[in-house]
Chains A and B, each alone.
Chain A
Amino acid sequence: MNFAFSDDQNMLRDQAAKFLAARCPTSAVRKILEGEATWDKALWDGIVELGWTGVAIPEAYGGLGLGHLELCVLAEELGRVLAPVPFSSSVYLATEALLLAGSEAQKQAWLPKLAAGEVIGTLAVAEGAHQPTARSLSAKVENGRLDGVKLPVPDGLIADFAVVVARTSADGGARSASLFIVDLNGPGVTREAVKTIDPTRNHATITFKGAPAEALGATGEGWALSEAILDRAAVLLSFEQVGGAQTALNMARDYAMGRYAFGRPIASFQAIKHKLADMFVALELGRSNAYYGAWALASGSSELPVAAAGARIAATEAFYLAAKENIQTHGGNGYTWAYDCHLFYRRAKLLALTIGSAPHWKELLISRLEARNAA
């Protein structure tokens, strides 16, 4: 039984933690929250310089050729500090999309640039305040031109290209959509900032009017491919969520130890202790499910769809619980702008939605278990 990260992977974790402690304290995240910039360019440049953007990209395409376990380690550390960078969009979504569905030419064209941080990519699926489905999808591609509106697109203002899910047939069935690569700096694209609950991450509304679109993967495979991409992203994001939950729990613990009421630290009250114990339990269940997802992702197991859904659900619950109860533990201070609790609360709910809500993933999980049982 070897259900843990290796010494080398833990060494990478230590290096990442050191780098992020120096370069991404909460004051840096707060700067994005309160300032004009919508992302931390200097931090991103440092991350690129360390090669993190190419960790899971094979050496043949200019990456480090390590693997997804290493990427999970980095994701956890980035999640711990709420790094305001387009790492998830460019690495978990766009890079994974190309690795999964790209032709040899597309891989050669994009992966070395993604690895080197010369371009930033993203995935554009959502079209407003509802679940994107085969029936509701309105973005469409005809004769290689994309029309439609995508929002919110994560890192939509800063990405150089997007992988877009768009309708390619009118029937609204499972095979009615396809994936396309669209140059966001090219013609027919306008982007506008969209306000979300978490201003420390960049989001945009992108309007496409006859934008040139290059097919990624086979026609009609749009939903199947985006589901496979989102499974991989779910595992990676679950590590960000676990990292964020751990920090929120640590904050709650430290505050409860130092805050005195009724002549004693509030950490000595069972109402607080039991709350923190529940946060810890949720975190451990989240972490263990995330580990299983990591194993399934890294080993290319057919378990991935079920494992990814499990990781997604458990980590989402862990981070949201930790973030909201961290505010509660801080009392009135937790509700102020000045304390950092809300940064975690915002990010927890953002991550809970960004690749689909928990109810959506629970439905997916049960469908997948039914399918596995039927097989």
Chain B
Amino acid sequence: MDFEDTPEEAAFRAEARAWLSANAPTPEEARKMGRETTNEAESLKRAKAWQAKKADNNWACLHWPKEFGGRGATPIQRVIWEQEESRFAVPRGFFEIGLGMCGPTMMNWSTEAQKQRYLPKMLRGEEIWCQLFSEPSAGSDVAGLRTRCERDGDDWIINGQKVWTSGAHYSDFGIIVTRSDPSVPKHKGLTFFFIDMKSPGVEVRPIKQISGTSNFNEVYFTDVRVPDSQRLGKIGQGWEVSVSVLMNERLAVGDAPGPGFDEAFDLAREVELESGPAIRDSNVRQQLADWYVQSRGLKYTKFRTITALSRGGVPGPESSITKLVSATNLQNIASFGMDMQDMGGSILDAEVAPANAIFQQALLYSPGLRIAGGTDEILRNIIAERVLGLPGDIRVDKDVPYNKLPTGKA
């Protein structure tokens, strides 16, 4: 056991590091490229310039095949690149969904001409893509979606609503799954398209979240016309295409962002309780130990995954553990940190609250992390079914026509 690269990995790391050192933006420039900045148009412009620079040097999307501007990189090379790039804290948020999900979908399902038209621009960040799956009444059960598509000559007319669409307001294109036939069971009546987000009838509205910020959108479709040539897969094959999109799960590299063991440990040494610093309190110490062990457990699990990748393996559903544990812990650490601040723990003002109010902020945004990208419950199902081999849920809706399913209120 050791933590060293193989000679090939070391060479690749050196190459990546050399290019980044010579070309990466300064930390101050990098901060201005994120999705969270106040001037989004400006940061998008900067992010696109950086993406184009990466594309010119074949660093834009390592795992894509060479013919579309990638490197055909191995999973371990991808991890190394992400490790190196993360040292420069350059945000990738604008392009992640396109490169990670929409691009591979187009590679699998679109025509040669479409690949040539769309993929290079996606890679360079010239055109941004989003993914339109979730709906107000179809979350974990995506196949229960209601957005309709109806044939009209060479076109399709789309009506309905999508939700939780990251980046819809700055996206040029999107991939969307819709219902073409409500008279057959839900998985069988779906059809998949890519659409121009600037089409007439597409309306994007930001969703205000618990935290007060807006990272997602609702997208409304009113008589949106889409040419049949933009259909991906056959009519009624939309579920199969959707599953292929979801198979491109991102390699879980990062934990939930926010206060973790280190921040809670620092706070405990700083905050005074009646009996002295909180770190002297045995309940605090016991709780901190749990979080230390769990956060290190995730880190070392990642080491094991990287080792498996280095030996030629592929990432498996085991990586669901990272999100499940880190999102839950984040919410708990946030609450615990506020408890340590006692009567003043509710103060959200970053000027007053310790650690720039990261504990208070995390309390407000952490519920979203337990839901987005697979709820805690869905992740447990994934572990149970795909890792432990337990049977899937018994589906009461499997053989029932979609339009005969009970729908409830929402």
Q: Are A362 and B304 in contact (CB under 8 A)?
A: no
Q: Are A285 and B304 in contact (CB under 8 A)?
A: no
User: Contacting B286 at CB < 8 Å: which of A3, A278, A292, A359?
Assistant: A359
Q: Are B385 and A273 in contact (CB under 8 A)?
A: yes
Q: Are A2 and B298 in contact (CB under 8 A)?
A: no
Bound: A369/B266 CA distance, A: 11
Q: Is B113 an interface residue (CB 8 A)?
A: no
Give the chain A neighbours of B325 by CB distance below 8 A: 281, 285
CB within 8 Å for A310 and B293 given contacts A4-B304, A4-B307, A281-B324: yes
Q: Is B88 an interface residue (CB 8 A)?
A: no
Which candidate, B24-32, B121-129, B167-175, B391-399, is the interface stretch facing chain A?
B391-399
Q: Are B285 and A362 in contact (CB under 8 A)?
A: yes
The smallest C-beta distance from A251 to any residue of chain B, in angstroms, reads 12
Q: Mark A262-285, 1 if CB is under 8 A from B, else 0.
A: 001101101011101110110011
Give the chain B neighbours of A366 by CB distance below 8 A: 279, 285, 288-289, 292
The smallest C-beta distance from B262 to any residue of chain A, in angstroms, reads 10
Give the chain A neighbours of B294 by CB distance below 8 A: 285, 314
Q: Is A69 an interface residue (CB 8 A)?
A: yes
Q: Are A256 and B390 in contact (CB under 8 A)?
A: yes
Q: Is A192 an interface residue (CB 8 A)?
A: no
Q: Is B243 an interface residue (CB 8 A)?
A: no
Q: Are B388 and A1 in contact (CB under 8 A)?
A: no
Q: Are B303 and A268 in contact (CB under 8 A)?
A: no
User: Contacting A291 at CB < 8 Å: which of B304, B381, B390, B392?
Assistant: B304
Q: Are A277 and B384 in contact (CB under 8 A)?
A: yes
Q: Are B390 and A267 in contact (CB under 8 A)?
A: yes
Q: Are A313 and B1 in contact (CB under 8 A)?
A: no
Count residues of chain A with CB under 8 A from any CB of chain B.
46
Give the chain B neighbours of A344 by CB distance below 8 A: none
User: Contacting B2 at CB < 8 Å: which of A2, A256, A272, A313?
Assistant: A2
Give the chain A neighbours of B4 by CB distance below 8 A: 1-2
CB within 8 Å for A285 and B394 given contacts A4-B308, A280-B387, A369-B265: no
Q: Is B380 an interface residue (CB 8 A)?
A: yes
CB within 8 Å for A363 and B318 given contacts A1-B306, A295-B1: no
Q: Which residues of B (150-197) have their CB < 8 Å from a CB of A?
A: none
Give the chain A neighbours of B279 by CB distance below 8 A: 366, 370
Q: Are B391 and A267 in contact (CB under 8 A)?
A: yes
User: Contacting A278 at CB < 8 Å: which of B1, B292, B380?
Assistant: B380
Q: Is A243 an interface residue (CB 8 A)?
A: no
Q: Are A280 and B388 in contact (CB under 8 A)?
A: yes
Q: Are A294 and B394 in contact (CB under 8 A)?
A: no
CB within 8 Å for A281 and B300 given contacts A314-B293, A362-B290: no
Bound: A218/B397 CA distance, A: 73
Q: Which residues of B (308-355) have their CB < 8 Å from a CB of A?
A: 308, 310-311, 318, 321, 324-325
Give the chain B neighbours of A253 by CB distance below 8 A: 388-390
Q: Which residues of B (1-56) have their CB < 8 Å from a CB of A?
A: 1-5, 9
Q: Mark A289-311, 1 if CB is under 8 A from B, else 0.
A: 10110110011000000000110
Q: Are B3 and A2 in contact (CB under 8 A)?
A: yes
CB within 8 Å for A299 and B1 given contacts A273-B390, A274-B377, A284-B318: yes
Q: Is B198 an interface residue (CB 8 A)?
A: no
Bound: A119/B24 CA distance, A: 63
Bound: A288/B1 CA distance, A: 13
Q: Are B290 and A285 in contact (CB under 8 A)?
A: no
Q: Are A1 and B285 in contact (CB under 8 A)?
A: no
User: Contacting A276 at CB < 8 Å: which of B292, B300, B318, B384?
Assistant: B384
Q: Is A286 an interface residue (CB 8 A)?
A: yes
User: Contacting B292 at CB < 8 Å: which of A1, A3, A288, A310?
Assistant: A310
Give the chain B neighbours of A267 by CB distance below 8 A: 390-391
Give the chain B neighbours of A313 by CB distance below 8 A: 289-290, 293
Q: Is B296 an interface residue (CB 8 A)?
A: yes
Q: Is A257 an interface residue (CB 8 A)?
A: yes
Bound: A177/B299 CA distance, A: 38
Q: Is A181 an interface residue (CB 8 A)?
A: no
Q: Are A284 and B393 in contact (CB under 8 A)?
A: no
CB within 8 Å for A3 and B390 given contacts A284-B318, A366-B288: no
Bound: A278/B387 CA distance, A: 12
Q: Mark B355-390, 1 if CB is under 8 A from A, else 0.
A: 000000000000000000000010111011101111
CB within 8 Å for A270 and B297 given contacts A253-B390, A284-B321: no
User: Contacting A1 at CB < 8 Å: which of B288, B290, B301, B307?
Assistant: B307
Q: Is A365 an interface residue (CB 8 A)?
A: yes
Q: Are A291 and B300 in contact (CB under 8 A)?
A: yes
The chain B residue sitting closest to A318, CB to CB, is: B297
Q: Is B282 an interface residue (CB 8 A)?
A: yes
Binding site for A on B (CB under 8 A): 1-5, 9, 265, 279, 282, 285-286, 288-290, 292-294, 296-301, 303-304, 306-308, 310-311, 318, 321, 324-325, 377, 379-381, 383-385, 387-394
Mind listing 29 A-B residue pairs with CB under 8 Å? A1-B9, A1-B303, A1-B310, A2-B4, A4-B311, A253-B388, A257-B391, A273-B381, A273-B388, A273-B390, A280-B387, A281-B325, A284-B297, A285-B325, A286-B297, A288-B296, A289-B293, A289-B297, A291-B1, A292-B296, A295-B1, A298-B1, A313-B289, A314-B294, A362-B285, A362-B286, A365-B289, A366-B292, A369-B292
The 4 closest A-B pairs by CB, nearest first: A285-B297, A362-B289, A273-B384, A288-B300
- Give 17 A-B pairs besides A267-B390, A273-B385, A284-B297 with Cβ atoms closer than 8 angstroms: A2-B2, A3-B300, A268-B394, A274-B380, A280-B388, A281-B383, A285-B298, A288-B297, A288-B301, A288-B304, A289-B293, A291-B303, A294-B1, A362-B286, A362-B289, A363-B282, A363-B286
